[in-house]
Structure 1
């Protein structure tokens, strides 16, 4: 599995912890920035990760900012991206199983590092269940198509 990862300054420290965690699990990743805690704009980094996932260069993406909200909204503007802001392991599991989320958003100022790493593990390990959920995820794609014309 290949992971695209990125953050703004508010999620930088969490992103660095996740990178170390991925390395320990021998999971390949690419860091799309930012590279420090100097103030930057989250849309740039949410878009970079989302575009890499959309292009098929990476299987999934992980984005971090202070709350996870702004960067997830930015990632979700890329057609085909289903980015879920998650603060607990059950939501992480369901975002994959039922929603086929292909990008995970985490808020460094919302959750602790230990919980964040557990969320990452659950999210990476869970597969999409398909079935009745396939139809629903397809309807999300239909909404994208309707408004991208």
Structure 2
């Protein structure tokens, strides 16, 4: 499985920890995030991740910024992206089970690194339930 990851300056430490966790589990990781703590513009790191997901170049994406709102808003502009902002593993389970989310957005300023890694693990190990949830996902328009 291949995962694209992107982050701004608020998520650099998180990105390194998550990337190491994923690689230790045997996942391939495309790193589009900044490797520094200097202020950067988060959309610059969201676009390549969202494009990879939209074009089926990867299986899933992970985005990290301070609140995760900006990365989620940017990623969700892509037609085939369903990015979910999460701060607990229970919410992660729901975005996968009910919404078939393909990008996990993590708020670095509101989660701890161990918590973020637990959320990533949940994201990878939770399947979409389909059924009535598929009907709802199908009602998300590809364009308005």
* TM-score calculated relative to the size of structure 1: 0.94
SS at match of 1:63: strand
Aligned pairs (5 A) from 1:27-106: 27-106=27-106
State the alpha-carbon separation in 1 of the partners of residues 115 and 2 from structure 2: 22
Counterparts of 2:47 and 2:14, CA distance in 1:
18
Structure 1 residue 33, shift from structure 2 partner:
2.0
Separation of aligned partners in 2, 1:14 and 1:33:
11
Structure 2: tracts of 5 or more residues without a match: none
Residues 109-140 of structure 1 show CA distances to partners (whole Å, capped at 9, x for unaligned) of 11001111111101100111111111100101
Is contact 1:13-1:108 (8 Å) kept?
A: no
Question: Mind listing any 5+ residue stretches in structure 1 that lack a counterpart?
Answer: none
Q: After TM superposition, give the deviation of residue 108 of structure 1 in Å.
A: 1.0
2:18 matched to 1:25?
Answer: no
Q: Give me the CA root mean square deviation.
A: 0.9
The Cα offsets for residues 56-107 of structure 1, whole Å up to 9 and x where unpaired, read as 0000000000111111111111111000010001100110011000000001
Structure 1 segments of 4 or more deviating over 4 A? Answer: none
Describe the SS at the equivalent of 2:110: coil
